[in-house]
């Protein structure tokens, strides 16, 4: 997602803490306007209800977008047990409820989590941007149409229980690109026999970048020199720094 408009030529990476309620592109454009930057793009979409690390690339750094789209990511996710929604999260319509549900035990949760670590397969949600015949799946879903979706291979490096209550879980997930945390929440609920859906999601890491080093959008907009928050190309972690090829090597 790149944007070419009038503004300053700035090069670097911004670690933005996306607020709830904004799409990733809206958050990016507000950051771009705060910087008065000409060219910007982000490296992986967060749903509007989700918060956390949005890596924004400016100028020459937009060439890194592909590398970071493919990078592993980490999240803290809250799963409400007892019901399932058509979208897999709190924005959807409830489509299933567990009868006489009073909760699960912590032992039950700990027992099923290992089946969702390592190499697993996920069926992408209908409410996703994946395309079929040139149209995003979510457009079919909004029309009440459900299409068959082939499972996708993903890898869950870590899945740890952070907080437990009989009807709600908070988990830490470190995973490969292409992993749907909404689908993971849904599958965990089904494995527990009680259904489940995502009620909160916070991204804490993208590749080598962590949320600890990020800045909130409102704080960025209030800075007199917001460009000072950019990580210069020369200061990027190893593997992300641009390489200048000599003319004779081209």
pLDDT tens digits for range 114-173: 999 999 999 887 777 777 877 777 788 787 777 888 899 999 999 999 999 999 999 999
pTM of the model: 0.89
At 249 the pLDDT is 43
Rounded percentage of the chain residues whose pLDDT exceeds 90:
71
Residues 198 and 229 both lie in one domain? no
Residues 45 and 130 both lie in one domain? no
Residues 213 and 199 both lie in one domain? no
Residues 50 and 83 both lie in one domain? no
At 5 the pLDDT is 57
| 45: CATH | 3.30.70
Residues 188 and 85 both lie in one domain? yes
Mean pLDDT of 87-114: 96
Task: Give the domain extent around 200.
Answer: 73-206
Residue 209 has pLDDT above 90, yes or no: yes
How many structural domains does the chain have?
2
Could you list the beta-strand ranges (E) of the chain.
Answer: 2-4, 12-18, 39-42, 51-58, 73-81, 83-85, 94-97, 118-122, 131-132, 135-136, 152-165, 168-175, 196-206, 209-210, 215-216
Q: Could you give the residue numbers annotated as active site?
A: 47
| 155: CATH | 3.30.2350.10
At 3 the pLDDT is 47
């Amino acid at each position: 997602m790149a944007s070419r408009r009038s503004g300053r030529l700035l090069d670097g990476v911004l670690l933005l803490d996306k607020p709830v309620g904004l799409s990733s592109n809206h958050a990016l454009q507000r950051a771009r306007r705060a910087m008065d930057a000409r060219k910007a793009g982000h490296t992986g979409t967060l749903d509007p209800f989700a918060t956390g690390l949005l890596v924004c690339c400016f100028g020459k750094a937009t060439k890194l977008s592909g590398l970071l789209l493919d990078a592993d990511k980490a999240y803290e996710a809250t799963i409400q047990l007892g019901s399932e929604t058509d979208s897999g999260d709190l924005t959807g319509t409830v489509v299933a409820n567990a009868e006489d549900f009073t909760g699960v035990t912590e032992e039950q949760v700990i027992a099923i989590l290992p089946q969702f670590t390592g190499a697993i397969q996920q069926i992408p949600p209908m409410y996703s941007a994946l395309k079929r015949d040139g149209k995003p799946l979510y457009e079919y879903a909004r029309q009440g149409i459900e299409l068959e979706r082939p499972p996708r291979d993903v890898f869950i490096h870590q899945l740890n229980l952070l907080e437990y209550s009989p009807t709600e879980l908070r988990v830490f997930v470190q995973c490969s690109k292409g992993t749907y945390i909404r689908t993971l929440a849904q599958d965990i609920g089904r494995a527990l026999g009680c259904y489940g859906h995502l009620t909160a999601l916070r991204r804490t890491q993208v590749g080598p970048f962590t949320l600890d080093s990020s800045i909130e959008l409102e704080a960025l907009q209030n800075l007199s020199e917001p460009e000072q928050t950019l990580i210069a190309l020369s200061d990027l972690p190893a593997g992300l720094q641009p390489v200048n090829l000599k003319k004779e090597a081209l």
